Structure 1
């Protein structure tokens, strides 16, 4: 547990450094593009349009889900996923891609996944603002349940860091693991209730679906913005989510601590 606490402590201690490097990476990523940082929003918007047309218009014929227009329902699920998927894929490669640089100086390697998370969080926050505007246009009322949205944001950040500190360590040691992460994220997109509702499945499958921690996040966003459910009402799922997140964080921090001085040997 001491290892986990030290790892978390480093994230707070080096937060100014995380923020500076993340800002630099965000600017440099799109520096040579004519539209620049706008590509962070163009790609998700194009994907949202395709998913809405295929699943909302083509398959569902525009039928609302749980009383909510399908486009809004889909958007609330896709926005966190557009943050989750690239962050995990990029975060799992964060140590390997920079190990040559950080090995030449005294640098807290454990903050590299946090830099990736912070680099992607800027676009995520702006898409949340866009979602708020779209909901106003559609006349979706804001209720008191939106107060729990910060809780789900904390859940999201904790889960992302736990996964990326774990996967980035393994990816630096075993390069095939990075390909496994990419494939897994593509599969998890369809296994997470983003394009479909949990209630469309028989109740006996609900427990299996809830084993996916990303389902907890996506459903939580919908509960905060569209539904009327507090996170503590389903305390079993909440307990499972945090138990799993802490377990992954513990394993990731322990693995990282054991190999952080040996990454160069695996290049």
Structure 2
């Protein structure tokens, strides 16, 4: 518990530095490209079109959709957070290792590096949310009081991603093959996290109950609950308690490992 509090304090104390470095890194990535940061939106848009063709048209995903919600809108509500989640998980795992040389020259806690990774992706995520909002309005899905819980699920997503990224980034330093394992695992998780396929269609089935143990399903379905005005997060108390239990457990273990090994990270270069 003490280690978790220390790690969270470091994020709060260096918040401005996190935002400033993230902004600089984001611009540096695309400075040599003609389209620049347009790629932040163009790349996921092309992927959305491919997913819609494969799952929505070829596999007739629209046939299993709830009334009044077109498949493309339902899919966007899940794919957009998935793009954000998968990008953070993959890049966050390498966030400390790839910046060890910089950290050795500049004085700041290494625990903020996963936070910088999250901040760098916020621009593309916000832009894609605007696109989703346009699709919702065009399809006559208008804001309701349920939309306010978007902010709750956004906090859930960011905190869980930080917890996982801190844990993964520490393990990646100690065991370099772990980065490849994560990349492979994310390809599998894409199909069982509910981004393009409704994994909660049969709530009473054993398979659905197993799939709901995946925290990504809680987040993605939570965004859909918000935008489609389906239910409040507190209507699923046990699922909510499970998600926060997993998040705090991963954050706690990640904090302990990070603080225990951070002074020896340079030895693994």
Q: TM-score normalized by structure 1?
A: 0.97
**Structure 1 match to 2:177:** 176
Report what 1:155 is aligned to.
156
Aligned to 2:237: 235
Q: In structure 1, what is the Cα distance between the partners aligned to 2:220 and 2:131?
A: 17
Tell me the residue number matched to 2:54: 54
Any gaps of 5 or more consecutive residues in structure 1?
Answer: none
1:146-195 deviations in Å (ceiling 9; x for gaps): 01110000000010000000000110111000101111111110111111
Give the match's secondary structure for 1:252.
helix
RMSD: 1.2
Q: Which region of structure 1 is more displaced relative to structure 2, 84-93 or 195-204?
A: 195-204
For residues 59-116 of structure 1, give each alpha carbon's deviation from its aligned partner in whole angstroms, at most 9, with x where no partner exists.
1174361111000000000000010001110010000000011023322100000000
Structure 1 residues 1-267: aligned runs within 5 Å? 1-60=1-60, 62-63=62-63, 65-67=65-67, 68-201=69-202, 203-267=205-269
1: CA distance between counterparts of 2:180 and 2:21? Answer: 26
Please list every run of at least 4 consecutive aligned residues from structure 1 whose deviation after the TM superposition is greater than 6 angstroms.
none
TM-score by length of 2: 0.96
Change (3 A) 1:204 1:52: same
Taking the aligned partners of 1:185 and 1:199, their CA distance within structure 2 comes to: 19
Q: Which runs of 5+ in 2 are unaligned?
A: none
Q: 1:37 to 1:249 in 2, by over 3 A?
A: same
Alignment coverage as a number of residue pairs: 267
In structure 2, how many angstroms separate the alpha carbons of the residues matched to 1:222 and 1:32?
Answer: 37
Sort the Cα spacing of 1:126 and 1:251 in 2 relative to 1 into closer, same or farther, 3 A. same
